[in-house]
Structure 1
Amino acid sequence: MSAPRILLLSHSHAFGPFRVGSHHYARTLAESGADVVHLSTPVSAAHRVTGRIDRATLATLPRGPVRDAAGVTHLVPRTLVPVPYGRFRVDRALRRHGIAERFDAVLIDQPLLWHDSVRSLTERLVYRPTDMYPDGVKHGLQERIIAAADGVLATSSAVLDALGDLRVPTLVIENGVDADRFAAPQGNGVREALCVYVGALDGRFDWEQLGAWGRGHPDVRFVVAGPGAAPAVLPSNVEMLGAIAYDQLPALLHRARVGLLPLSDDPLNEGRSPMKLYEYLAAGTAVVTRETPVLHADAESGVYTYRDTGDADAALRSALAHPSPNAAGVRRAAYEGWGAKTAQLQRFALGLAPR
């Protein structure tokens, strides 16, 4: 039996400081023997001219297909106009770069990559929503994807519920963790009072809460690792590292006592299944996160939640007092590995009735 060919149409490329679910699925599928192509949102001339992508970042992006060590073929297309406003089509991009256009399954998590021609690439089309799109361009494209899809694989029950009644098979697989990568070395002792956040610094991040924690705990160090700058002056015990390479994250987390997920009240946070939760736990930190329909307290595993500023300080104090390193959290993260989740995804996608 020949290896299955699987195409992942993703919102993020794998050449920057972040790793998202599609990157881990692509790697694990390829390691299991599948022929995997990972195509991400095109970089447009408009992005380059307006500075939304700088020259240094652009220089890291390949101009054609690149096969990585795991065997995944990555393609980051270049366009003149941002999708979906130009004439970009996935099938044409594949053809232009000599990549065969038929796949046993196509999984799409980026609505902006949709065009009706995507349907012709496979007999099994799976929509894999990672966020909620209540309105706007992505909402309209999402409706078209759902109408054409053979199945829906969501990253949380909240994201799935937001899609309404569906007439195709559905499954929820929350994001996981590469537990071995984040495991702390033997003998990693009690850690300093250091709290770390790693990730995007956009409207989903609560700067006010971070500042309040810093002012309320002057004896605690807070480190923020991610591209971008703070919108306001922060306390002196809050350090901005900027973007750091994915390979450097474990070493940073192994020094920390607490991993932070200070989510803002942005509605998009309601359905998020942040990979950082399990990466923090796998690295041996306790976790403080705003409570959402997806993220719940688990004090035994070192996960503490808050609903608003009124109980955020208590949640942080509890996390700082949790046994360090957080052995119970490490054990919980071990059940959330990408290997098992990828096997679920592959069974679901390839088990759909071919069209």
Structure 2
Amino acid sequence: MKRLLCIATAGGGQDAIRIRRLTEGIAAECTYYDVDRKLSRKAALRQVRQLLRSKPWDLVYLEGTGIAGGLPLIWEARTRRLRYIVSSGDPVGGFFLVTQGRLHGWVFGVYEKLLYRHCVGFIGWTPYLTGVALHLGAPRGITIEGAVDLCRFTVPSASQRQEAKRALAIPPHHLVCGVVGSLNWTERQRYCYGLELIETLKLLKRADVTMLIVGDGSGLERLQAAVPASLQERARFTGRLQPDQVPCALHAMDIGFITQTLDKLGSFRLTTKLPEYLASGVAVAMSPIPGYYDYVEPAGWPLPPYHPTDPAFHRACAQWLDALSWEEVQERAAHARPIALRFDYQTANARFRRFVEELLA
């Protein structure tokens, strides 16, 4: 039987789950390795290189583009013709260009090109990323978006929705706008997920809106400190939740925010939370990147075309929410679950298997 080594460069978590779900039933002997994020970069590189040389792998599947996995693969492909595929949800060069500046953007742009040029296949989380990979030299590609377990994320009943709000001390009649994600502060942009919700809350005229921010990270305390004392009761922070607690938090939401920057990073992305929002019957407010028009309409609204730290963005969001009716929210939410069907893990698994088994053959 063919040997398939699966490496998650981000360690455990969402990427590790994705690897295991996508490879279920594949005609190969699978070995899974999650890079230990507690190790130094040098130690992580050494461990991956030793793993790559431990067996005559027929194919390596790299989930993520971290250099702990990517650099050893490039070297082994050049020196021993080791065959590998890459799966990514971010433009590597674009990510570092936006978050770290031009020098980092150029260096990691070169790394990205080498990573794709030496692979035998690319799996993009969006069709836009797949196109970039092909342009940079990947010989073949497929798009397999972030998938969702439709049995785990479900549309709640009216009573379940009210109970979820009650558990978070949110009044049952409040419109809940929320975000789920890593609240990692980016100093260069002075931003992390959730900031746009807090700044919008300060400008709202209506008093029946609560902002729900689910997640943890270096930006959490900044967000909490940014909430005026008079609005403390209308900003809810859950901190980090266990995976089995996330569906209940989504049941409390009426609108899920997916805010991206309109640049060489955000324009190519499609957050893993999108299918979870949709599968939970949550209407989506999303930045007007290609992913909104391809994956969200008619289950949501395009957010204002500004950077999420721009006061114009916050003013426009506040004006929109002040005028928003419950009827419109319910009408958009009714389209969410049907759209989520395209993200079903069973469908993604079948397409993944066909692509990878062809490469193994």
| TM-score for both structures, normalised by structure 2 | 0.73
Structure 1: give runs of 5+ residues left out of the alignment.
Answer: 45-78
1:233 aligns with 2:226: yes
What is the CA–CA distance in structure 1 between the aligned matches of 2:237 and 2:46, rounded to whole Å? 37
Q: Cα–Cα, structure 1 residues 38 and 323, in superposed 2: closer, same or farther, change >3 Å?
A: same
Relative to structure 1, is the Cα distance of residues 283 and 256 closer, same or farther in structure 2, using a 3 angstrom cutoff? same
Residue 155 of structure 1: how far off its partner (Å): 1.5
What is the aligned residue count?
A: 309
Structure 2 distance, partners of 1:348, 1:288, is: 33
Gaps of 5+ in 2: 94-104, 163-171, 307-312
State the distance in 1 between where 2:320 and 2:28 align.
43
Q: 1:121 to 1:270 in 2, by over 3 A?
A: farther
Paired residue for 1:169, among 126, 129, 140? Answer: 140
1:102 to 57, 82, 91: 57
Q: Does 2:91 match 1:132?
A: yes
Contact kept? 1:302, 1:329, Cα under 8 Å = yes
Aligned partner of 1:92 in structure 2 is: 50
Contact 1:282 1:329 in 2 (8 A): yes
For residues 82 and 339 of structure 2, the distance between their equivalents in structure 1, rounded to whole angstroms, comes to: 37
Give, in angstroms, the shift of residue 233 of structure 1: 1.2
Number of the residue aligned with 2:99: none
How far did 1:137 drift? Answer: 4.7
- Determine helix, strand or coil for the equivalent of 2:139: coil
- Shift in Å, 1:189: 6.6
CA gap of 1:92–1:353, structure 2 versus 1, over 3 A, is: closer
Alpha-carbon distance change, 346 to 297 in structure 1, aligned in 2, over 3 angstroms: closer
Residue 115 of structure 2 is matched in structure 1 by 145
Query: Matches of residues 217-228 of structure 1 in structure 2 within 5 Å?
Result: 217-228=206-217
CA RMSD of aligned residues (A): 3.3
Match of 2:41 among 82, 85, 93: 82
Corresponding residue number in structure 2 for 1:334: 341
Aligned with 2:198 (options 208, 211, 217): 211
C-alpha contact 2:119 2:138 (8 A) present in aligned 1: no
For residues 183 and 211 of structure 1, do their structure 2 counterparts lie closer, same or farther at Cα, with a shift above 3 Å needed?
A: same
**Which stretch shifts more, 290-299 or 124-133?**
290-299
Q: Secondary structure at the match of 1:42?
A: coil
Shift of 1:88: 1.6
Match of 2:21 in 1: 27
Instruction: Give 1:346's aligned amino acid.
Output: R
Residues in 2 aligned to 1:323 and 1:207: alpha-carbon distance in whole angstroms: 23
Is 1:257 paired with 2:246?
Answer: no
Which shows bigger deviation, 319-328 or 299-308?
319-328
Q: Deviations for 1:229-288, whole angstroms, at most 9, x for unmatched residues?
A: 142512421122111111101111112211122334564222111121110011111111
Inter-CA distance 25–343: structure 2 relative to 1 (3 Å threshold): farther
**Shift in CA distance, 338/304, structure 1 to aligned 2, threshold 3 Å:** same
* Counterpart code for 1:251: C
Q: Work out whether residues 210 and 262 of structure 1, in 8 Å CA contact, stay in contact via their aligned partners in 2.
A: no
Shift of 1:209: 2.0
Q: Relative to structure 1, is the Cα distance of residues 165 and 143 closer, same or farther in structure 2, using a 3 angstrom cutoff? A: closer
